[in-house]
Amino acid sequence: MRTSRNKTRYLILGLLNEGPLSGYDIKKIVDWRFSYFWSESYGQIYPELARLEAEGLIGACKADEGSRKDKKRYQIKSEGLIELKKWLAEPAEKEVVRIELLLKLYFSNLTAPEVMADQVKEFEISHKRQLELFKQFEQQLAETKQLGDNHDEILMVLSFGQKVLVSYVEWSRDVIKKLEEKR
């Protein structure tokens, strides 16, 4: 019991607390700015938006002028804010990590080292790409630093991404080298 789960709710509430957004917008934000620590699919976002609206935690609001009329934007209601704050006070659940690459590497004495090296290279590239995205966001943030509201908190989250992503890339390089020496 007492398993909170359904974090999509809180992601939505958290983002909506900074301003009105559509489901599409939310997906984009997660993919761009949160990609190194979070992910969502439309199949989660749209139904959750509907549920939150039905529960009265968020409400539909007018589409932006200058944007298409079929775009549905939502804004947070006071009930939603209460729910969000409640979640913030609860302890975070232990995250589940599953890194397939490491599982493969663990058993990879059954394959040629170059096969594994290719996979680690792919891993490196993918995380370098994330690091790029990440730096773009960092820069974007530096340019628009007026929104000091949760500026400090965002910087802490960014420092996590920075540190971990760099670790991933460094580790990849080491391992690729070792695997290539094995050939």
Partner DNA sequence: CGGCGCATGTAACTTGTTACATGATTCC
Partner DNA sequence: GGAATCATGTAACAAGTTACATGCGCCG
Euclidean distance between CA atoms 58 and 55, whole angstroms: 8
Whether residue 127 contacts residue 169, with contact meaning beta carbons closer than 8 Å, is answered with yes
- Residue 8: contacted member of its own copies, DNA, none (CB under 5 to 8 Å, by partner type): DNA
CB of 74 to its own copies, least distance (A): 16
Identified binder of DNA from the candidate list 43, 97, 107, 144, rule CB under 7 A: 43
1 binds DNA (CB under 7 A): yes
Identified binder of DNA from the candidate list 18, 19, 37, 47, rule CB under 7 A: 47
Would you tell me which residues interact with its own copies (CB under 8 A)? 7, 10-11, 14, 17, 34, 36-39, 81, 84-85, 87-89, 91-111, 115-116, 118-119, 122-123, 126, 149-150, 152-154, 156-157, 159-160, 163-164, 167-168, 170-171, 174-175, 178, 182
Whether residue 12 contacts residue 25, with contact meaning beta carbons closer than 8 Å, is answered with no
CB of 29 to DNA, least distance (A): 11
Identified binder of DNA from the candidate list 30, 49, 176, 179, rule CB under 7 A: 49
91 binds DNA (CB under 7 A): no
Judged by DSSP in three states, 168 sits in helix
Euclidean distance between CA atoms 41 and 30, whole angstroms: 9
Where helices occur in 58-106 by DSSP H, the ranges are: 78-89, 100-106
* Closest of 38, 19, 22, 56 to residue 160, by C-alpha: 38
